[in-house]
Amino acid sequence: MSKYLDIEVKQEDIDGAIPMDSFRCPVARALKRKYPLAYVRVGLHIILGNSVWKSSGNLVAAIAAYDEYHTFTPGTYRAFKE
Range of the domain at 14: 4-81
CB atoms within 10 A of CB 19: 15
Helix (H, G, I), strand (E, B) or coil at 45: strand
3-state SS class at 62? helix
Q: What is the pLDDT of residue 81?
A: 85
The model's pTM is 0.87
Work out how many domains the chain is built from and give that number. 1
Pairwise CA distance, residues 80 & 46, whole Å: 9
**29-82 pLDDT tens trace:** 999 999 888 889 998 899 998 889 999 988 888 888 888 888 888 999 999 987
Q: Could you tell me if 29 and 69 are in contact, meaning their C-beta atoms sit under 8 angstroms apart?
A: no
